[in-house]
Structure 1
Amino acid sequence: MASHICSLRKGINTSMYRKKTWPRWNLDNRRQGLGGILLRAGAIALILALVVNLSAAPACAQTQLQVTSRQQSYVFSESLKFVIEAKGEEPIVEAILFYGLEGSRLVRRIYPRFTPGLQVHIEHTEELESGQFPPGVKIVSWWRLRAEDGTVLETEPATFEYADDNQNWHLLSGQQADLFWYGNNEAKAKELLERADEVIVRLQQEMGVSLERRVRIYVYNSERDMRRALSRRSAGYDEMVTTLGVSMGENTLLLLGSHPDASLTIAHELSHIVVKLATKNPYTDLPRWLDEGLAMYAEGQLPADNQRALERAIKEDKLISLRSMTSYSGQASQVDLFYGQAYSVVAFMLKEYGPAKMRELLQVFAEGTLQEDALQRVYGFGLAELENRWRASLGLGPRRRAVSIVASASPTVEATRSPVETRHTCSSSFGALLLPCFLALMLSMRAKRLRRVG
């Protein structure tokens, strides 16, 4: 009986509870229904605003920018000139010029001055330093124009070859190289090309690398002709030093073909190209004493001027500090000694420790390893110990004093991405999107507040 009464009371209490709370439950549902309606209304308003905005897009896209003329030209080793003419339905207010070497990620960004308007003529002349770009490279450029309403036009890239047009070049093609020459001595040109092919094959085998691009060799008949293509250091330096050859970029070689040592110079400069390929990395360059030493060794016998300078420095114990030879010499009076000493150090390393160790050293440098760490890893000692061992092989004691060499700074270039395609872009009205979003947010907050009541 007691249990029955207890059950009955539970049933009565439950029934009474349901009866009292039913109206409240119904009211909450009505409130939630109102909030849902408000949320749906806000969403519909947002969708309608987007539809209206999208339907208005064609009107914005009607603002067109059109390029009516575009030119690029150059004066070798003096300047580059870029010209563009364009028109639009809205005033053109900004222009950006991009240019750089084809295949390079380094690109110049330039903001030329011009008068904004519906029709514009914009040009920019870039002054060049002598030897800034090697002959034969391809230069790519493109423009980005912006109208007052935000419409943007980016042009397709245009490419042209930057050639030394001061000479009437002829072309000879070998197995590994293309040789450009002018004048009447075709037999000499063929001899140099044959030498180049032989050296490239030998160096690739010794270094364990393969050239991905053909080498371009420009043979000049005089110092005067070649000077326009070379970088200048100083008036005094250029007057005292004759440049027999120079490697530029990854695969270009300039050669003074009229010099008796032209055949040796080809081996020297091709060594730079192959060694650079073998040690290429984004972190560090090869020390100059090693790079030039390998190039001098590739020539074969040390030239007489370098030999005399080296012997004199050994006799007087005035050898250049090996650490200061990490960069190029800025003193014309030390050039012969610099190259002679670099040859001597590399010859010592090859004779004492063998070619296999040298190849291993180049592989370690290819990983971006610093000079001291690379030597320690391969030979078990650093630069100072290498210098003392080399000096001992010459009959000299440990180095007591150094002759410093000043290195010249390199120019920097602003980097940016390369273009992919021509495209028009149009700015949309931010307010048209913001208003319905704001209304939807307010309606949502109102609905939440109604649900919290009671």
Structure 2
Amino acid sequence: MILLSVVAAIAGLFGFHGAGGDIQTGSLNARAITIVESSHRIEFPDRIVFTLEADAPPDVQSARLYYTVGPHDVKVYTYPVRFTNSENIEAEFIVNTGKDGFIPQGVEIEYYYVFTDSLGNRTVSDSRTFEYLDPRYNWQRLSMDDFTIIWHNRPERAVRRTAADVSIRMRAVRDLFGLEGDYDFKAVIINSRAEADRSFPPVSDTSQDTFLYGGFAFNRYDVLVVAGLNRDSLIHELTHLMFDERLDSPRAKPPAWLNEGIAMYFEPGGGYRQSDVQRAFRSGNLIPLRHMRSVPGRPDDVRLFYSQSASVVRFMMDEFGPERMDTLLTEINEGRKIDEALIATYGVGVDELDRGWRRHLAGETSIFQIRDPGALGTSAIIGAALLVTTSAVLIRWLKNLRK
């Protein structure tokens, strides 16, 4: 079922106003604390300003703002930049969301206040939640099976058409990863270069000037932000989020080439990158696969890194099938390093995989024979048994020869 609604992202709309109910303090003979007004103002992308007014006893000496970002339980607190308690409490808090405290659009922020009186007694207010979005725009949302698209200033029909296409194609990603749970990732669509500069996380000046990245997935928050209503970008970043769900063990340390390669494997329009790989192959400029554990820094290297990652993963999928890839992910999720995981799955390590892929680029039909890891152990046992048998026969033959 597809749902459509309007998200009014006007600053302060998500705040709560009026009497918020009495909050009992722990001090003797103290009257209740009553929230008169509490609101927030998003000054995107730099900060969120929280304002508080409360009717409270004069012995309340301090107030803190506690908040959580996204679906995690990690609580952060901050002190007010302004606090008075003469006839009532007036306080203002600032949470920085810019370069040093970046928060992606689309996340939900839950917050509450903690008051402390002169005896050290603490009083906790009710919590409130709002969605962090640029208040310049009137946001709309469209909910699909696994994700919700949040957008502004685009035709609804175009969004529905793209979302339906992406939703169908993401079923193949689910199948590869073996995911059966219910997910509700958020996909925030932005429309311009200026909006991307405000919405994307800090990157190098060169990367920003060349508009190197078209989107980002924030696994910690189950949120992605992409520039433009682009089917491939949405599939790419959603695959990253599902990849993170598949490798849910803290012991899993997948290399970046595998993560990016799988994300690009599912892009319907990603085939053009193979020409970049062939040019680098002919000029001898390919990056050794062993050196691709993380994304490089220079824009030219980044482009080649992505193209190579896509080519290597496509080679693995075409030659050995999705079942082997699923086994590889299981090995990584159990804490094996990439070399160990590849050997356990394909019978080859990183370097041999790299050589086989390069021979494939050269058009050679003989790549390498994939070995069944289970058969390796069986072969070793059989080989040892044959060696023992042969040795026994040889010893008997030598004894007979001496006679």
Q: TM-score range by the shorter chain?
A: 0.7 to 0.9
Higher RCO, 1 vs 2 (CA within 8 Å, ≥6 residues apart) = 1
How far off its partner does 1:320 sit?
1.7
Give 2:227's aligned residue. 256
Q: Does 1:109 align with 2:83?
A: no
CA 1:368–1:98 in structure 2 vs 1: closer, same or farther (change >3 Å)? farther
Q: Does 1:355 align with 2:338?
A: no
Q: Does 1:265 align with 2:236?
A: no
1:126-148 C-alpha deviation (Å, 9 max, x unpaired): 22126933322210112222111
User: Is contact 1:92–1:145 with CA below 8 Å preserved after alignment?
Assistant: yes
CA distance in 2, matches of 1:281, 1:225: 35
Give 1:372's aligned residue. 339
Cα RMSD, aligned residues only: 2.9
Query: What's the TM-score once normalised by structure 1's chain length?
Result: 0.66
Q: Which has the higher helix share?
A: 1
How far off its partner does 1:116 sit?
7.1
CA 1:150–1:168 in structure 2 vs 1: closer, same or farther (change >3 Å)? closer
Q: How many pairs align?
A: 335
Q: Does 1:287 align with 2:255?
A: yes
Q: Does 1:161 align with 2:131?
A: yes
CA distance in 2, matches of 1:125, 1:145: 17
CA distance in 2, matches of 1:84, 1:59: 21
Pick from 312, 322, 332: which aligns with 1:345?
312
How far off its partner does 1:210 sit?
2.7
User: Is contact 2:84–2:90 with CA below 8 Å preserved after alignment?
Assistant: no
User: Is contact 1:99–1:139 with CA below 8 Å preserved after alignment?
Assistant: yes
CA distance in 1, matches of 2:167, 2:235: 10
CA 1:370–1:320 in structure 2 vs 1: closer, same or farther (change >3 Å)? same
CA distance in 2, matches of 1:275, 1:301: 20
Say which SS state the counterpart of residue 326 (structure 1) adopts. coil
CA 1:171–1:122 in structure 2 vs 1: closer, same or farther (change >3 Å)? closer
Give 2:96's aligned residue. 127
CA 1:254–1:346 in structure 2 vs 1: closer, same or farther (change >3 Å)? same
CA 1:164–1:389 in structure 2 vs 1: closer, same or farther (change >3 Å)? same
User: Is contact 1:177–1:196 with CA below 8 Å preserved after alignment?
Assistant: no
CA distance in 2, matches of 1:174, 1:115: 45
Pick from 145, 149, 157: which aligns with 2:119?
149
Give 2:279's aligned residue. 312
How far off its partner does 1:200 sit?
1.9
User: Is contact 1:241–1:332 with CA below 8 Å preserved after alignment?
Assistant: no
Percentage of pairs with the same residue: 26
Give 1:92's aligned residue. 60
CA 1:370–1:98 in structure 2 vs 1: closer, same or farther (change >3 Å)? farther
CA distance in 2, matches of 1:113, 1:79: 13
Give 1:328's aligned residue. 295
How far off its partner does 1:325 sit?
1.9
Give 1:427's aligned residue. none
CA distance in 2, matches of 1:283, 1:70: 42
Q: Does 1:213 align with 2:180?
A: no
CA distance in 2, matches of 1:345, 1:185: 38
Say which SS state the counterpart of residue 334 (structure 1) adopts. helix
CA 1:161–1:149 in structure 2 vs 1: closer, same or farther (change >3 Å)? same
CA 1:70–1:266 in structure 2 vs 1: closer, same or farther (change >3 Å)? closer
CA distance in 2, matches of 1:245, 1:114: 37
CA 1:113–1:165 in structure 2 vs 1: closer, same or farther (change >3 Å)? closer
How far off its partner does 1:294 sit?
0.5
Query: What's the TM-score once normalised by structure 2's chain length?
Result: 0.73
CA 1:330–1:121 in structure 2 vs 1: closer, same or farther (change >3 Å)? same
User: Is contact 1:140–1:157 with CA below 8 Å preserved after alignment?
Assistant: yes
User: Is contact 2:188–2:224 with CA below 8 Å preserved after alignment?
Assistant: yes
1:378-402 C-alpha deviation (Å, 9 max, x unpaired): 2344333333333343349xxxxxx
Give 1:274's aligned residue. 242
Give 1:226's aligned residue. 196
The code of the aligned residue for 1:310 comes to V
CA 1:184–1:156 in structure 2 vs 1: closer, same or farther (change >3 Å)? closer
Larger Rg: 1
CA distance in 2, matches of 1:350, 1:294: 9
1:47-81 C-alpha deviation (Å, 9 max, x unpaired): xxxxxxxxxxx995323462444332322322112
The code of the aligned residue for 1:364 comes to E
CA distance in 2, matches of 1:95, 1:270: 40
CA 1:191–1:134 in structure 2 vs 1: closer, same or farther (change >3 Å)? same
CA 1:242–1:211 in structure 2 vs 1: closer, same or farther (change >3 Å)? farther
User: Is contact 1:65–1:153 with CA below 8 Å preserved after alignment?
Assistant: no
User: Is contact 2:146–2:182 with CA below 8 Å preserved after alignment?
Assistant: no
